[in-house]
Amino acid sequence: MARKLSKPSQSKKSAPKKAVRPVVSKPKSQAKPLSKATPKKGGKKPLPLEKAPAKKAPSAPKAVLKDATKTPSKVDFSKSPFNASLKPAQKIGYLREMLRIRRFEQQALKYYNQGIMGGFLHLYNGQESVAVGTASLMNGHDEIITAYRDHGHALAVGMGMNECMAELFGKGTGCSKGKGGSMHFFAPDKHYWGGHGIVAGQTPLGLGLAFAIKYKKINGCAVAFLGDGAVNQGVFSECLNMAALWDLPIVYVIENNGYSMGTSLERSSAVNGSLAKRAEGFCVEWATCEGFDLYELRANLGAAMERARKESKPMVLEVSTYRYYGHSVADANAKKYRAPEEIELYKSDYDPITRWQNQLLKEKTVTQAQIEKIDDEAKAEAAAAVEFGIASPWPSEESIFEDIYHEVDHKTEAGQTGRFFFSE
Amino acid sequence: MPLITYRQALNDAFAEELTRDENVFLMGEEVAQYNGAYKVTEGLWKRFGSKRVIDTPISEAAFLGLGVGAAMMGLRPVVELMFWSFAYVGFDQIINNAGCVRYMSGGLINVPMVIRGPANGGTNVGATHSHTPENFLANTPGLKVVCPATPYDAKGLMISSIRDNDTVCFMENTLLYGDLGEVPEGSYTIPLGVAEVKREGLDVSLIAHGRAVLTCLAAAEILATEHGIEAEVVDLRSIRPLDEETILNSVAKTHRAILVDENKPFCGVSSQIAALLAEHAFDDLDAPVLRVTALDAPAIYSMPLEKLQLPDAQAVVAKVLSSF
């Protein structure tokens, strides 16, 4: 059955295998605030850092964003089949989830900066709509996996703030018992498979989830997230080939926040209109959408996931989004490789939470007072999670040698023959 | 007992496990319609079909990672590497994902996968196709490493590996695929982490794994007939978990240890055994622990020279004689 994605400019249709030739949308309809222009092959492009010192920068991001705003969406995504029947409670629930993620990370940032958390902290601030939108579309049999910017996805699928915060503090009550840290949250019981630290390393794992779904004849799909930097890892291309070859039910969601660490999209990727378009070379359908608006995200991703489930086909969906902080909090150059004004503009005009709040206010789904109450609750929950994390005990020394081998942990026969660990 | 090849023993193990458990599937380059580059999976595609025996594109990183993802979901992939040397293309998936995901998830996930294929030199295929990465992989807590030397061990260890709930790196040897040995029909298992004394002796312990075990057995015959030395041959069979007890018992009996290893000498498997003996067998030893390993150079192509690079029976005999 032919399925159209909600975005009309992306006219998609099911085509016979190997003949899939998605209609490429007109460049301007691919509202991509982050790509200033289609790079010209061989042409000299001013690099963001060379372009101007920060003081002169304000015109640059505005010009970029103007492109995005110039093509105001004529589509009312609230009318999409994935949104039209949403109940007020669900819409308010999405707001709550986004606010919980935002407040959780703000608390984490505070304590990270105090030096009482270890490692890296890759914040998801500004991108919350993508994780929440995705979790809202999961059918109970869908499986998701992401990279190291994973707090949002974890909370969105229902992991508790306490276990997540405790993990950041390296405590035994953490979701990974203090063994994984910020980049490695997992909840298989909630169909959430991490949390992976190596760029694009999770993309073939996602393929494996999709493979298992198909093998077991489960009515679900896999959604694997990756960043705009990850598309340049070779394994991702291998995955697209195999996904197409074997008709695996997977949606690769490229969360394009414009920067692979400190290197802008323009400086890291050869782009022909969009990153997602690379999928064409593998006969994989693709689309782009903005992630700032939850309705738009749900409409597009919902269609992609439904297609994956029903037709067992892969798809690449590139979502424009933006992170307010650096690659990680330790990224000292976060305001050097992009103009501070650019960051401020995204915060003021493109914040997914503000947009959703305004949308719900406009719909009269929620009142300002209700929003404040939800936000206060999220703040209180995050503060309580910090208390829980700080008060929690460190993992025991014995636990260093637990959770390495399943057979050893379970004291099976196979776990008791021979020596497994070689330190004295 | 029927006399079958090492190759057939593995093939029988796959057929039995594919029949027993529908979650088991085989995957790799040329494993299905081509019947396997070394014919280890011959006939299985025809018998079990395309769902269970799957040809992959030449994309080691992707299909190893796919195996990890599928195993996390409860399937039991048996992923063939045409050569273990090709694992280096997908090392991230083996080390970071198969090897670490259980730990990083605090034990929420396990990866019941077998990664298998030949890992040996000695076939004039040059350095890139002659690697023996058992030491690299055994260096990763979370992975298990198995190196069978005989058809009997190959089948029993393979069945155990497929049923194991952790990732097992199973290393075969193209020079052994045609070897004949007695192998029972039907299923049997050999536990991982249990070495076997392949020949008893009182004078010296030859400790080895994989094809080097056969080299040791040949050397032991020469030592017995020509030099009156009775060598005991300990086959590790599994590198991690490691059966230290059998090694130490043997050395306590013979008071001499010669480590024979087709792995390279620097930080190789034999280095680990030497450390073990230094720590726990010091008082038992009448002579220093000596090693015969692959020469410390990339595998050379030239046929007669490559033979010099790997341990042979004469080199083992010479080393044993030097220890007395």
Question: What percentage of chain A reaches a pLDDT higher than 70?
Answer: 83
Fold: same for B3-182 and B196-322: yes
Enter the tokens of residue B76: 């039991």
Is B97 close to A205, i.e. CB distance below 8 A?
yes
Q: Does the pLDDT value for residue A29 go beyond 70?
A: no
Residue A351 pLDDT > 90: yes
What are the structural domain ranges in chain B?
A: 3-182, 196-322
pLDDT of residue A73: 55
Q: Please give the pLDDT value at position A366.
A: 97
What does the mean pLDDT of chain A come to?
86
Superfamily of domain B3-182 in the CATH hierarchy: Thiamin diphosphate (ThDP)-binding fold, Pyr/PP domains (3.40.50.970)
A314 in contact with B at a CB cutoff of 8 Å? no
The per-residue pLDDT for range B21-69, each reduced to its tens digit, is: 999 999 999 999 999 999 999 999 999 999 999 999 999 999 999 999 9
User: Cβ contact (<8 Å) for B107 and A402?
Assistant: yes
Residue contact B104–A245, C-beta within 8 A: no
Helix ranges (DSSP H) in A216-367: 234-245, 265-268, 294-311, 340-349, 352-363
Are A153 and A321 within 8 A, CB to CB? no
- Outline where DSSP puts E strands in A173-302: 222-227, 250-256, 259-260, 263-264, 285-290
Residues of B in contact with A407 (CB under 8 A): 164-166
pLDDT-derived band at A24, boundaries 50, 70, 90: very low
A297 pLDDT higher than 80: yes
Share above pLDDT 70 across residues of chain B, in percent, rounded to a whole number: 100
Nearest to A209 among B69, B102, B103 (CB): B69
Instruction: Say yes or no for a CB contact (<8 Å) between A234 and B61.
Output: yes
Sign for the pseudo-dihedral over CA of A363, A364, A367, A371 = negative
Residues of B with a catalytic annotation lie at: 60, 129
Average pLDDT over residues A304-331: 95
User: What gap in Å lies between CA A295 and CA A73, rounded to an integer?
Assistant: 12
Q: Do B69 and A193 count as a contact with CB atoms less than 8 A apart?
A: yes
Q: Is A116 on the interface with B (CB under 8 A)?
A: no
> B175-228: per-residue pLDDT in tens?
999 999 999 999 999 999 999 999 999 999 999 999 999 999 999 999 999 999
| Fold classification of A87-266+273-391 (topology level) | Rossmann fold (3.40.50)
In what helix (H) or strand (E) does residue B71 lie, and over which residues does it extend? helix B60-72
Which tokens in the block code for residue A256?
């394009």
Q: In chain B, which ranges are E strands?
A: 3-5, 24-28, 53-55, 76-80, 114-118, 143-146, 167-172, 180-182, 196-199, 204-208, 231-235, 238-240, 257-261, 290-293
ipTM: 0.96
Distance from CA of B37 to the nearest CA of A (A): 21
Does B139 lie at the interface with A, CB-CB under 8 angstroms? no
Tell me whether strands A250-256 and A315-320 are parallel, antiparallel or unpaired: parallel
Band of pLDDT at residue A72, cut at 50, 70 and 90: low
CA atoms within 13 A on the CB side of B322: 12
User: Can you give the pLDDT at residue B126?
Assistant: 94
CA distance B23 to chain A (A): 9
Task: Please tell me if residue A214 touches chain B, with a CB cutoff of 8 Å.
Answer: no
d(CA A168, CA A386): 10
The ranges assigned to domains in chain A are: 87-266+273-391, 394-424
State whether B57 and A242 contact (CB < 8 Å): yes
What would the pLDDT profile of A265-294 be if each residue is shown by its tens digit? 999 999 999 999 999 999 999 999 999 999
| Sequence-distant (≥ 6) Cβ neighbours of residue A27 within 8 angstroms | A38, A273
A187 near A175, Cβ under 8 Å? yes
**Separation of alpha carbons A309 and A315, rounded Å:** 11
Q: What is the CA radius of gyration of chain A?
A: 22
Give tens-digit pLDDT for B113-147. Answer: 999 999 999 999 999 999 999 999 999 999 999 99
Q: B24, B53, B72, B144: which to substitute to probe chain A, counting the most A Cβ within 10 Å?
A: B72
pLDDT of residue A74: 72
User: What is chain A's length?
Assistant: 424
DSSP code at position A81: T
Stretch among A170-174, A330-334, B252-256, B273-277 having the lowest mean pLDDT:
A330-334
pLDDT tens-place string over residues A38-64? 333 333 333 332 333 333 333 333 333
The CA distances from residue B206 to A302, B53, B248, B290, B292, in Å, are 63, 39, 12, 10, 10
Dump pLDDT digits (tens) for A87-125. Answer: 999 999 999 999 999 999 999 999 999 999 988 999 999
Domain B196-322 has CATH 3.40.50.920: yes
Q: What average pLDDT does the structure give for chain B? A: 98
